[in-house]
Structure 1
Amino acid sequence: MIVPGSSSQLLAAALAEETGRPLATPTYDRFPDGETLATVPEFDGDEATVVAATDSDEAWVELLQLQDAVREAGAERVTTVVPYMGYARQDESFGDGEPVSARAMARAISTGTDRVVLVNPHEPGVADFYDVPVQAVDAAAVLADPLPEGLTEPLFLAPDEGAIAIAETVRDAYGAGETDYFEKHRDRETGAVAVSPSDAAVSGRDVVVVDDIVATGSTMSESVGVLNDRGAARVFAVCVHPMLAANAVTKLRGAGVDRIVGSDTIERGCSVVSVAPALADALE
């Protein structure tokens, strides 16, 4: 049975359809003192797949409660799908007394599940923090589906050299184009940081800026501005995890993005493609 967290209801429903498994209907309540209560009043079976993006502190608590609730309801085996893992960027301590938050969260999840499935974790090494078997699914290829056919000399750009693989994945899925990445340049006098494509010319070309996550949109909007200044024909912003906090959408549109494309690992207005097929393969 597929058990959705409140932030992942559409994805859970799509996954239930892909796998042919029944979809549970949890309830998400709150006590007068503000504490949350996630329950699974109707659960039938000995195996549960909890699907919950942890895009807020409340979502983390809800996930732990759902894991415990399905155990109480009789599940003998629990798989936890974390489409988006919050705190995954805090994968090391950056100063004395600071936590490795990704490790703390992974250990908490591990206590209530037999297996974990992640989708494009920002830092792949976070999988090592879990105390149960973990599978990381690469779902970036689905981002190519909504792109228009016949892009003009398409160029797929990653935010840095280390992320070039995700740009290559989307390019390969699209079936045409080149890949490149942005380089950062710091002005020695002012300390200001500027970004630019490392090699490829962009004038007159359609450019797809690819990233695993867009949070505030500041870095990507700056990159888009550079592309437009250099004469790019159209610029598309695509990401697996469209966090798009605060005014990120406005920043990107203001910078000249023609379209923002995200998946349903975090359910936003731009979540036009689903990672459910990739997750269904992992759950077989």
Structure 2
Amino acid sequence: MTCALVALPGNEAFTATLAKALGTEVLKVTWHRFPDGETNLRFDTSPAGRSIAIVATLDRPDAKLLPLAFCAATARDLGAPRVGLVAPYLCYMRQDRRFVAGEGITAHYFPRMIAQWFDWMVTADPHLHRIHDLSEVYPIPTRVVHCAEAAGRWIKAHIDRPLIVGPDEESAQWADVIAQTAGAPAIVLRKTRHGDKDVTVEIPNLSEWAGYQPVLVDDIVSSGHSMVETIRRLRAQGLAAPWSVAVHAVFAGSAEAEIRAAGITGLATCNTIVHPTNAIDVAGLFIDPVRDLV
């Protein structure tokens, strides 16, 4: 069975890179939005008889989900025997339990929706908390791409004498892989989150690292409050203005501006979400998982 890719709007560059590496075609789809906001789409290249992979990074997801569902349904309706999802960034992972009485557990509901539309899924570094593996909530085959080594290679090539700084205990394993790949030392801080905008970061005495370039590493930058607090604490100890290296560049609201205002040397992210800070291309990491599942 032949394979072909489809790009949800905004995912064209990532899809083109992946298609070239896979040696496959990107099907042309025309998208139209009616004046009332409804979506219409047309496959200009037939998906009949092909295993289709739709590439759609799912930051700011709510506006993307109906076009994604309609695209998958149309491909299947037009004769695609299998339809998969390549989601470089996967949404709806944070609400994995009922924190307050009456809340929905969206980290469980969303996978059921995806499983109605798709036969398989590949994503990169999902932001897991109490869910330890996607198979716990996704009833379809999934593969996870890990970007830590790619981040470590970028740091090794671009930053002199780096000190890898993980923001909290959850980041310890990830920071360790980056540090090993970059050939750099690493420290992991302790973070306490009191609310969406209230974060306390505990930092030990770092005087022994005075000659190093701190590099804050994380899998996701969303509100940026943890990073801003960490930057301030590092600078207060007299360390150099840090770099920030992350996988997923969500940057909600004014997060990027606040991070830069706190005093950093630079920002580098992976291209799982399109953003001006993208410096680390991870599209190639998706090749083997996609081949395994199509």
Aligned to 1:58: 63
Aligned to 1:189: none
SS in 1 for 2:13: helix
Residue of structure 2 equivalent to 1:47 = 51
In the TM superposition, residue 244 of structure 1 has moved relative to its aligned partner by 0.9
Q: 1:88 aligns with which of 93, 104, 108?
A: 93
From 3, 7, 11, give the equivalent of 2:10.
7
- Following TM superposition, by how much is the alpha carbon of 1:197 offset from its aligned partner in structure 2, in angstroms? 3.3
Give 1:228 shift: 1.5
1:24-81 deviation line (CA, Å, top 9, x unaligned): 2223321222123344332344211111111121112222122112112221112211
Taking a change above 3 Å as real, the CA distance of residues 97 and 81 of structure 1, as seen in their structure-2 partners, is same
Report Cα offsets for 1:231-266 as digits up to 9, x if no partner: 222411111100012211111111111111111111
Task: Tell me if the contact between 2:165 and 2:187 (Cα under 8 Å) persists in the aligned partners.
Answer: yes
Task: Name the counterpart of 1:158.
Answer: 166
Rounded to whole Å, the distance in 1 between the matches of 2:192 and 2:223 is 21
Q: 2 CA distance for matches of 1:209 and 1:252?
A: 12
Alignment gaps of 5+ in structure 2: none
> For the residues of structure 2 that align with 1:199 and 1:273, how far apart are their CA atoms?
31
TM-superposed deviation, 1:15 = 0.7
Provide the C-alpha distance between the structure 2 equivalents of 1:40 and 1:207, rounded to a whole number of angstroms.
Answer: 48
Counterpart-to-counterpart distance in 1, 2:279 and 2:253: 20
Give the Cα separation in 1 of the matches to 2:127 and 2:219.
Answer: 7
Flag the 1:162–1:236 CA change in 2: closer, same or farther, 3 A: same
5+ residue gaps in structure 1?
187-191
The answer to whether the 8 Å contact 1:51/1:82 transfers is: yes
List structure 1 segments (4+ residues) > 6 angstroms apart after TM superposition: none
CA RMSD of aligned residues (A): 2.2
TM-score, L = length of structure 2: 0.87
Deviates more, 1:25-34 or 1:256-265: 25-34
Tell me the secondary structure at the aligned position of residue 143 of structure 2: strand
- In the aligned structure 1, how far is the partner of 2:205 from the partner of 2:45? 57
Structure 1 segment 1-284 matched on structure 2, within 5 A: 1-44=4-47, 45-56=49-60, 57-123=62-128, 124-147=132-155, 149=157, 151-174=159-182, 176-184=183-191, 194-198=200-204, 200=206, 201-284=208-291
Identical positions, percent: 29
From the superposition, tell whether residues 150 and 82 of structure 1 become closer, same or farther in structure 2 (CA, over 3 Å). closer
SS in structure 1 of the partner of residue 46 of structure 2: coil
Q: Distance in 1 between matches of 2:64 and 2:158?
A: 40
In the alignment, the residues of structure 2 paired with residue 108 and residue 71 of structure 1 have an alpha-carbon distance, to the nearest angstrom, of: 16
Q: Which whole-Å CA distance do the structure 2 matches of 1:154 and 1:2 have between them?
A: 38
Task: Tell me how far 1:194 sits from its aligned partner.
Answer: 3.3
Count of aligned positions:
279
Deviations 1:96-152 (A, max 9, x none): 221111221111111121111121000144442112111122122222344364745
CA distance in 2, matches of 1:52, 1:185: 33
Alpha carbons of 1:182 and 1:40: their partners in 2 closer, same or farther (altered >3 Å)?
A: farther
Which secondary structure does the structure 2 equivalent of 1:130 belong to? coil
Alpha-carbon spacing, 1:122–1:206, altered in 2? closer, same or farther (3 Å) = same
- Give the distance between the partners of 1:185 and 1:33, measured in 2 at CA: 44
Tell me the distance in 2 between the aligned counterparts of 1:9 and 1:168. 33
Report the 3-state secondary structure (helix = DSSP H, G, I; strand = E; otherwise coil) of the residue aligned with 1:55. Answer: coil
SS of 1:117's partner is: strand
Q: CA deviation at 1:198?
A: 4.7
- TM-score norm. by structure 1 comes to 0.90
Q: Distance in 2 between matches of 1:225 and 1:15?
A: 39
